[in-house]
Structure 1
Amino acid sequence: MEIRNAALKDLPAIAAVEAECFPAAEAATAEEFAGRLAHYANHFWLLFEDGELAAFVDGFCTDTPDLTDEMYADAALHDEAGAWQMIFGVNTLPRCRRRGYAETLLRQAIADARAQGRKGLVLTCKDRLVHYYAKLGFVNEGVSGSTHGGVVWHQMRLTF
């Protein structure tokens, strides 16, 4: 197993994993990922198994405390000095699930955000995953204002 930050060369693999993990209405496109990689590749945590991208977590930093739909679409909103590490995607290939990969990457993102002096991390998730993120220390703040992909999301926050 190898964990590292992303580079532009990882774009095809990242887009493929995203397409396999999320319905089209919720999935980021290769073009959106290209913008994200251009602005904050160091805020992508990739996990490789036998040389294949098996899981990744990504998101940018901002002083805005709540995750908004605009953030998904505009990578230029990233502020490297931002107080909050947003998490936009937690992806694990279906055949690689239940091996702890997502948790490993989230723990790395949490450790990095803490080391960088951030206030904490914010993500949104579907109702069925609230308990999963809670075990990592995230607190459910209720239904998010995000309507990304036409889905009801819960905003979760981990504050240091």
Structure 2
Amino acid sequence: MEIRKGTLKDLEAIAAVEAACFPAAEAATAEEFAGRLQQYGDHFWLLWEGERLLAFVDGFCTDWPDLTDEMYADASLHRENGAWQMIFGVNTIPACRRQGYAGQLLQQAIADARAQGRKGLVLTCKEALVHYYAKFGFVNEGVSGSTHGGVVWYQMRLKF
């Protein structure tokens, strides 16, 4: 298995994994991923087994302290030297869940953000996953202002 950064060549595989992991109202589109990969492909962590993408984590950097819905749709808001690494998605294909793949990618994203001198990482998740992200040091800050996909999200922050 190999962890590597994202490029436009990965677009089809990334969009397919996203579609397998999230309902349509919550999933990013191939077009959105194309913009993300062009603007901040170095902030994608992809776990490949041969030619098969098993899992990925993506997000961008910003000085804004909270994750907002507009960040998902507007890749141009990325600031390479931003204080915070936002995490937009943590995706593992259903057949490969509960094998630690998402955790490996999160640990790599955390290590990279620390090495890049960021203040920490921010993500949003559904209530059922709050305990999962807490295992990595993320702290629940309560219900997020996000209404992405018509779902209640909780903002989680890991400070260095």
TM category (shorter chain) comes to over 0.9
Once the 2 structures are TM-superposed, how far is the Cα of residue 49 of structure 1 from its aligned partner? 1.8
Gaps of 5+ in 2: none
Distance in 1, matches of 2:136 and 2:110, equals 9
Larger mean Cα displacement after TM superposition, 130-139 or 50-59: 50-59
- Structure 1 residue 117 and structure 2 residue 117: aligned? yes
- Structure 1 residue 85 and structure 2 residue 65: aligned? no
Distance in 2, matches of 1:144 and 1:98, equals 26
Question: Pairwise mapping of residues 60-71 of structure 1 onto structure 2 (< 5 A)?
Answer: 60-71=60-71
Give the aligned partner of residue 148 of structure 2.
Answer: 148
Once the 2 structures are TM-superposed, how far is the Cα of residue 148 of structure 1 from its aligned partner? 0.3
Question: TM-score, normalising length from structure 2?
Answer: 0.99
| 1:112 partner amino acid | D
Per-residue CA deviations over 1:25-52 (Å, capped at 9, x if unaligned) read: 0000000000000100000000012320
- Structure 1 residue 95 and structure 2 residue 87: aligned? no
Per-residue CA deviations over 1:118-139 (Å, capped at 9, x if unaligned) read: 0000000000000000000000
Distance in 1, matches of 2:86 and 2:115, equals 15
Gaps of 5+ in 1: none
Per-residue CA deviations over 1:33-81 (Å, capped at 9, x if unaligned) read: 0000010000000001232000000000000000000000000000000
Q: Secondary structure at the match of 1:142?
A: strand
Distance in 1, matches of 2:68 and 2:89, equals 14
Q: Secondary structure at the match of 2:110?
A: helix
| 2:110 partner amino acid | I
Once the 2 structures are TM-superposed, how far is the Cα of residue 150 of structure 1 from its aligned partner? 0.3
Give the aligned partner of residue 74 of structure 1.
Answer: 74
Over the matched positions of the two proteins, sequence identity in percent amounts to 82
Distance in 1, matches of 2:52 and 2:69, equals 30
Distance in 2, matches of 1:104 and 1:122, equals 17
- Structure 1 residue 43 and structure 2 residue 43: aligned? yes
Distance in 1, matches of 2:6 and 2:21, equals 18
Question: TM-score, normalising length from structure 1?
Answer: 0.99
Distance in 2, matches of 1:142 and 1:66, equals 12
| 2:64 partner amino acid | T
Q: Secondary structure at the match of 1:13?
A: helix
Give the aligned partner of residue 133 of structure 1.
Answer: 133
